[in-house]
Amino acid sequence: MSTSTTQNEWPLWEVFVRSKAGLDHKHCGSLHAADAKMALQMARDVYTRRQEGTSIWVVQSSQIVASDPGEKGMYFDPMEDKVYRHPTFYELPESVNHM
Partner 1 sequence: MYTQAMSVGPQDAPSSKIKSAEEMQREAAFEARIDAGDFIEAKDWMPEHYRKTLVRQISQHAHSEIVGMLPEGNWITRAPTLKRKAILLAKVQDEAGHGLYLYSAAETLGTSRDQMLDALHSGKAKYSSIFNYPTLTWADIGVIGWLVDGAAIMNQVPLCRCSYAPYARAMIRVCREESFHQRQGYESLLVMMQEGTPEQKAMVQDAVNRWWWPALMMFGPADKDSPNSEQSIRWGIKRVTNDQLRQRFVDATVPQAEILGITLPDPDLKWNEARGEHDFGAIDWAEFWRVVGGDGPMNRERLGARVKAWEDGAWVREAALAHARKQATKEQAA
Contact residues toward partner 1 (CB under 8 A) are 1, 3, 5-6, 8-10, 12, 28-32, 34-35, 38, 45-47, 49-50, 66, 68-70
CB of 40 to partner 1, least distance (A): 13
Closest to 41 in 3D by CA, of 7, 9, 10, 6: 10
* Backbone dihedral angles phi then psi of residue 94, each to the nearest 5 degrees: -50, -40
32, containing H or E segment: strand 25-32
User: How many other CB atoms are found less than 10 A from the CB of residue 39?
Assistant: 25
CB of 46 to partner 1, least distance (A): 5
37, containing H or E segment: helix 36-47
C-beta of 20 vs 73, nearer to partner 1 = 73
CB of 39 to partner 1, least distance (A): 10
C-beta of 10 vs 92, nearer to partner 1 = 10
C-beta of 27 vs 92, nearer to partner 1 = 27
